[in-house]
Every structure is written in structure tokens, then in C-alpha cells.
Structure 1
Amino acid sequence: MNLPPHFTKTVTSTFTGGAEWLTHLPNLLAECERRWDLTVQPTNFTLSYNYVAPATLADGTEIVLKVGVPNRELRTEIEALRLYAGRGCVRLLDADPEQGVLLLARLHPGEMLTTLTDDDEATRIAALAMQTLWWQLPAEHNFPSVADWGDGLAELREAFGGGTGPFEGRLVDTAVSLFTDLLASSDEPVLLHGDLHHYNILSSSDGWQVIDPKGVVGEPAYEVGALLRNPIATIFDEPDLKGITARRLDILAETLSIDRERMRQWSLAQAVLSVWWSYEDGGDSADWELTMRLANVLLEVS
């Protein structure tokens, strides 16, 4: 298969057995075609951690096939999609968690929220999308918590012998302190998307729909961090990033009725955690340096 170099690098650097999985990928796709009587088409989607391609069922229904190295995150995505059952989120048609396979409804026209040029409007749409996904947790579930994710900051310290390596010590210290304080005073936890931003909100015949939920347990104020860091391809070219970030926080606070300062603090802590994840996954320094820039902005926003 003629796979994008960035995709192969991400899979091999992120997942144990990633190189072997890539070798087996053509066989896995063929197995999916036989099992579900579908035809996989050449992909025209941007690939990151999973292989995603359009496909057609035997009756002509257009779907999306998503396959990835089997891991906890894919399993919790499947669990979240089953709970959402198509309400505000793309519908899961079938899945095999052990094989890392998801069959998803195809959204049309399927354009990302990045197509909107009015940032205020996009922020409001994202806020409304968030609200549709904040579900009461079932009695039994396998979702990680925000506290589990926050443990990554301890791993950062351990990786650098108690220091912060290439990351600004002031920001890491602030993030650790914020995680501790915010977790201790959190509101009632709900099911969050966990990575809700412009690239994961698509247009459809039923309005804007969300894709790729991580599925994480935490208070709603935690959810906005990913949105503030995106769209990563353009937001950091804005001459007044501080002003835009402040305006977004204003809109989110008004639309969601959530304390603005609490969202700012969570977003700062989450930005530093995101930087560590990028570094840990072998990401380019140019990517996490941009995110650290936003962390500094969030430190200064009033």
C-alpha cells in the first residue's frame, strides 16, 4: 500500500507492534471486505493514528471503515459511540474491538468546522456540539478519567529525572498544580469526548456531527482545551492569538454557562499534557512548540 510517510511514522512510533500491523493492513482490509460484504475504496482522508477509508456495503450504502492497532483508546471510542447511538455523533454501525475495526455511517457533505471563516460562529457550534455529548455515566464502564490522563505529567518528570527536559519549567509546574487543584474541586463527572475540536466536527444532513470520541470521565470544563488549540494549521498564524483565545473563552463561558477561569485553567494544564503526549509519541518539535506557545498565552489571558 502507498501509505503516507507521516502515517507510517506515527503508527510505528506510537504503537508496540505498529510496523507489523502496517504490514498486515492489506490482509486486514481484505478480511473486512469478506466479513461485512463491503468494498473498500482508496482513501481520501487525512490519516493520523488509524487507517480510515470510504467503503460501500453490498446494498450501495456509503460508509467509513476505520481500522487501527488494537488498543484501549479504540475500545473506549467504540464504547462511547455505542452510548451516543448517533445522537450528536456519527453512528457506529458495527465494530470488532479485538481487531480494532469500526464501521461508521458516512456523513454528507462531511466538511470540517474549519470551513467556517467566522471564528465566533465556529466556537458557538463547537460549544453546542459539546453539550450533546456530555452524558451521565453508566454504572459500569471502562473509560479512563481526567485524573488518569493527568498522570502523564508525572511521567514527564520521571522521563527527565525530576526535571522538565525541553519544556519550560514554569509551565510544567503550573500544569501540575492546576491538575491537583482542579481535580480536588471538580463538578460531577460526565462522559466527555476528550478531543473535541474543529477537525472532529463535520457537517451532515442532520446538522453538525462529531467524530472520533476518546471517551473520558471528567467535568465539562475540561472539554474546551482541545478546541482552543485548534485548528492547528491556522490558529497559530493569527497575529492576535491572545485576543482570539480570550474571545473564545468569553463565548464558551456564555454558551455553556461554565466558569471562564476554570476553563482557562483546565485548558492551560491540558495544553502542557498534550505537549508531553506529542513528545512521547515521537511528534515533531514544531508541533509541540506551538502548543506550548498557547500554554503561555493561556497563562497571560485575563
Structure 2
Amino acid sequence: MKFLTHIRMMLLCLHIVMIQSHEHSNTIVFDTPDSSCHKLSIGLENSITYLTKKWQLHGLAPISYPSVFNNYIAHAYSELYQQDIIIKIGQSNDECKALEYFQGNGMVELLDYDLEHFALLLQYIPSNITLADYLCITQDDNLAISAFVDVFKRIHASPKHLTVAHYVKLEDELFLLHSYNFTKIPAHLLQKACNLYGQLFRSDTPEYLLHGDLHCRNILQNDNEFIAIDPWASVGPLTYEAASFLTSPTDFLLLHDTIQDILQNRLNRLSDELQLDKQQLRDFSFIRLIYLACICETKNRNDDWIEQFIQVAQVVNRLNI
């Protein structure tokens, strides 16, 4: 049994590497109903042409990676900046605001941006090794936890209360739990998530600017440290930031018969080392998984993703506090 599990983990590692190394054509379809994003989809080729000239880009090589949301991402060389870069054309300017706020502290460096085209010019990280890859290679979850804790502490070294009007509130994002007739998510799990939502978002809970999606595949190795990429830029409790990591990557975790022990150790260490409330951390982890399953259903994503989120949520529900 252990031999078969080891083979499955090796195949998963190979699958991750193949996904990250795959290149595709310049044809990108943005699957969001938002009108501004629809215009971006139609004008993507024109945006690429304009930005290529603006930033003097050469050797544009599009990058594909698994995500709930679709963005145009490519590696190129910028003659203007005299360095390799990543160009990203997204669906809003929230990521730009977050990267400006964090100013490279534990996060990828923002070199330039174009608000009209929802475009970012980003630091290029040559290794392309995510924390998920690192975990898959080392098979040492405690090393992965330590790497995450370091990134978290650098990002939130001096957390500040914000004027939330300038950013999307996590509370509003997670309200999706209440606002759709979901058919692929067990009713009792959805109801539990809705109940926890009402308990966790209280008026006296301090709110900070979060990365908002700080899972293992949004953390890249850069020389001797790890840095975060792709912030969602939500305003909410710091506990949610750690919840993003606690249950990722779900496909890797589900290969282990000891998944509950792994998650319990993560819960204990993250709570202790980051001084976060253990029950809130567990509850936010549960809510996040159900929320991600909800997003997948609204966007008609692969049902396998929904099933993974549900399975891990059921394990989280059994963790001790």
C-alpha cells in the first residue's frame, strides 16, 4: 500500500511539472461574465501589441497553469528594463494595488503597470518551483510549513488597518456562499459554511490587506527564499491568510492516508507560530474550501476540483482545537 501511494505521489509531481512547463498559443478566452473583462478578451491581441511596444518586449512566450480564473501570462525580455520579465493581463486592477502596497516584501516585485489594459510587468523568477513542487520533492511537510510561515511574516511584518472602501472585502467575496442555488455541494456542508460565515465576520474583528489566495502554488522559490505571487487583494482577518495554505494542495494531501494528522500538525503549528486563534483558523479553512467549490460550480469547472475541496473540508471538520 505504501509503495502504491509513493508511485501515485511521483506521478502527481510529474503531472505538476508538465502543467507548469506547457506552453500554449496566444488564444486566450476570459470566462467571466463581467463586461469590462469581456472587452479585454475581445481586445487581448491589441493589448498585447500595445504593451509589447510600450515595454519593448522580445521573445514573448505564453505560460499555462491550472487556475479557477483565466489570465494571460507570458515570459519575455524587456529591452526597456534590461531584464527578463513576466507580463500579466488580468481581470481587474486589484492585484496591482496589492503589489504596490506590499512593495516586494515577501511578494513578487512590481516593475510597472498599465491600468487601462489591466496589465502588470513583474519580476521574473527563473526557478518556477512552487511550494507545492517543493513539498512534493522533499516529502517534508514541516519544511513547507516553515517556508510558509516565513513568507507570511515578511508580507505582514507591519500589518495596517485599511480604508476598506479602496479594496474588496473578504466578507463580500465569501457572500457567494449565500447567493447561488448550488447543486454539486452537499447541503449540510454548505449550511455549515454559511453558519460559520455569520460567526466569523463580526464588527470587532480587525481587518488587514491580505494576499487573499496564499496557497502552495502561489508561492515560488527564489534562490534561498520563497515569495508570493498572484495576490487577490482582499481585506479581512489575518487568520484567513493562513487558512489558504493550511489545506493546500488538496490533490497532494488526498494521496496520504495520514491527511488528518498532516492537517492537525499544520493547524497546531500555524496557530502557535503566527499567534492565530486555532478555532478561527480551522473554521476559515473549512469556509474557504466550500467557497472554492462554489466558485468552481458557478464557473462550470472540473467536478474533480469540487470533489477534492469537499473531501478535504470533511477532514478539516474533524480537526481538534
Partner of 1:293: 311
Structure 1 residue 18: Cα displacement: 6.1
Partner of 1:82: 100
Q: What is the root-mean-square deviation in Å for CA atoms of aligned residues?
A: 2.4
Q: Which amino acid letter does the alignment assign opposite residue 73 of structure 2?
A: V
Partner of 2:143: 121
Match of residue 160, structure 2, among 136, 151, 164: 136
Partner of 1:38: 57
Q: Which amino acid letter does the alignment assign opposite residue 75 of structure 2?
A: P
Q: Pick closer, same or farther for the CA change 1:203–1:139 going to 2, 3 Å.
A: same
Structure 1 residue 144: Cα displacement: 1.3
Structure 1 residue 141: Cα displacement: 5.2
Structure 1 residue 202: Cα displacement: 0.9
Structure 1 residue 271: Cα displacement: 1.2
Partner of 1:154: 178
CA contact (8 A) 2:250 2:312 kept: no
- d(CA) in 1 for partners of 2:36, 2:164: 30
CA contact (8 A) 1:65 1:102 kept: yes
Query: Could you report, residue by residue, the CA deviation over 1:221-265 in whole angstroms, capped at 9, with x for unpaired residues?
Result: 111222133223422222222121111111211211112222001
Q: Which amino acid letter does the alignment assign opposite residue 147 of structure 1?
A: E
Q: Pick closer, same or farther for the CA change 1:287–1:67 going to 2, 3 Å.
A: same
Match of residue 60, structure 1, among 44, 61, 82: 82
Residue 175 (str. 1) matches residue 199 (str. 2): no
- When the two structures are superposed, what TM-score results if normalisation uses the length of structure 1? 0.87
- Structural mapping, 1:100-115, within 5 Å: 100-115=118-133
CA contact (8 A) 1:225 1:266 kept: yes
- d(CA) in 1 for partners of 2:126, 2:24: 26
Q: Pick closer, same or farther for the CA change 1:181–1:63 going to 2, 3 Å.
A: same
Q: Pick closer, same or farther for the CA change 1:239–1:142 going to 2, 3 Å.
A: same
Q: What percentage of aligned pairs have identical amino acids?
A: 24
Structure 1 residue 60: Cα displacement: 3.4
- d(CA) in 1 for partners of 2:43, 2:168: 29
Q: Which amino acid letter does the alignment assign opposite residue 173 of structure 2?
A: W
CA contact (8 A) 1:66 1:101 kept: yes
Q: Which amino acid letter does the alignment assign opposite residue 56 of structure 1?
A: Y
Classify the secondary structure of the residue corresponding to 2:65.
coil
Residue 252 (str. 1) matches residue 273 (str. 2): no
Classify the secondary structure of the residue corresponding to 1:176.
helix
- d(CA) in 1 for partners of 2:279, 2:163: 31
Query: Could you report, residue by residue, the CA deviation over 1:122-141 in whole angstroms, capped at 9, with x for unpaired residues?
Result: 01211221222233144475
Ranges in structure 1 where 5+ consecutive residues have no aligned partner: none
Partner of 1:50: 71
CA contact (8 A) 1:275 1:288 kept: yes
Q: Pick closer, same or farther for the CA change 1:62–1:142 going to 2, 3 Å.
A: same
Q: Which amino acid letter does the alignment assign opposite residue 56 of structure 2?
A: D
CA contact (8 A) 2:211 2:234 kept: yes
Q: Which moved more, 1:267-276 or 1:40-49?
A: 40-49
- d(CA) in 2 for partners of 1:44, 1:2: 7
Ranges in structure 2 where 5+ consecutive residues have no aligned partner: 1-22
Q: Pick closer, same or farther for the CA change 1:4–1:35 going to 2, 3 Å.
A: closer
- d(CA) in 2 for partners of 1:2, 1:125: 31
Q: Which portions of structure 1, spanning 4 or more consecutive aligned residues, are displaced by more than 4 angstroms? A: 13-23, 138-141
Match of residue 213, structure 2, among 192, 195, 199: 195
Q: Which moved more, 1:275-284 or 1:108-117?
A: 108-117
Q: Which amino acid letter does the alignment assign opposite residue 95 of structure 2?
A: E
Classify the secondary structure of the residue corresponding to 1:27.
helix
Q: Which amino acid letter does the alignment assign opposite residue 167 of structure 1?
A: I
CA contact (8 A) 2:40 2:117 kept: no
- When the two structures are superposed, what TM-score results if normalisation uses the length of structure 2? 0.82
Q: Pick closer, same or farther for the CA change 1:121–1:133 going to 2, 3 Å.
A: same
Q: Pick closer, same or farther for the CA change 1:189–1:138 going to 2, 3 Å.
A: closer
Match of residue 288, structure 2, among 242, 256, 270: 270
Q: Pick closer, same or farther for the CA change 1:232–1:138 going to 2, 3 Å.
A: same
- d(CA) in 2 for partners of 1:140, 1:244: 35
Match of residue 12, structure 1, among 31, 51, 64: 31
